[in-house]
A and B are shown apart, each in its own frame.
Chain A
Amino acid sequence: DVKVTQSSRYLVKRTGEKVFLECVQDMDHENMFWYRQDPGLGLRLIYFSYDVKMKEKGDIPEGYSVSREKKERFSLILESASTNQTSMYLCASSLPTMGEKLFFGSGTQLSVL
């Protein structure tokens, strides 16, 4: 089974802090994604990566950056956390094949105070 692991289940940070959310997948997937999930809004794509050292902006990249130095690891960085970034963050991975079925981690609930 594909395993996508997010380093923290819950995280509490202060406004202005730099925050790192880590995601690791063990199935050699080329594609990795970061989404945020907010009630009533579903999942919104922040950034994605199709290869090592490659990144593309999603629909809501403002206030975020990413890093993909190794194929299995995709990090989401909040340069200066703000209260409107309080959310559930979901990492996903997939193969670049037909259909792009996404495999998700369990999520990180981030609270910015």
Chain B
Amino acid sequence: GEDVEQSLFLSVREGDSSVINCTYTDSSSTYLYWYKQEPGAGLQLLTYIFSNMDMKQDQRLTVLLNKKDKHLSLRIADTQTGDSAIYFCAESKRTGGFKTIFGAGTRLFVKA
């Protein structure tokens, strides 16, 4: 199967950490991504991880990959109101050309 699943909603308080989780089903996926969509805008690549890595850190963002469980997470430290957006998990694999499969998106709501 090619499903990418993520919860649809997450609410956190400003200053707390946010953790957005994602599961995928295809173990041949080579790259996994997190995209961010702010209101009224298209998607913007936030960060990505190669499938042979288990962690990637970029400032306030930490991506964890558990390949055995096919589980990907995005942790946002010190969450700000500007982080309120929809976060999409996506997997990409080379099968006759790259194909990117997106999850349904997690809406992050940050309470001031």
Contacts and interface: CB of A to CB of B under 8 A. Distances in A.
Interface of A: 4, 31, 35, 40-45, 50, 56, 90, 92, 94, 96, 98-107
B104 A104 contact: no
Interface residues of B, number: 24
Nearest to A88: B42
A104 B41 CA distance: 9
B29 to A, nearest CB: 11
25 contacts: A31-B98, A35-B102, A40-B104, A41-B104, A42-B102, A42-B103, A43-B88, A44-B102, A90-B43, A92-B42, A92-B43, A96-B97, A98-B31, A99-B30, A99-B31, A99-B48, A100-B92, A100-B100, A101-B33, A101-B48, A102-B100, A104-B43, A106-B40, A106-B42, A107-B42
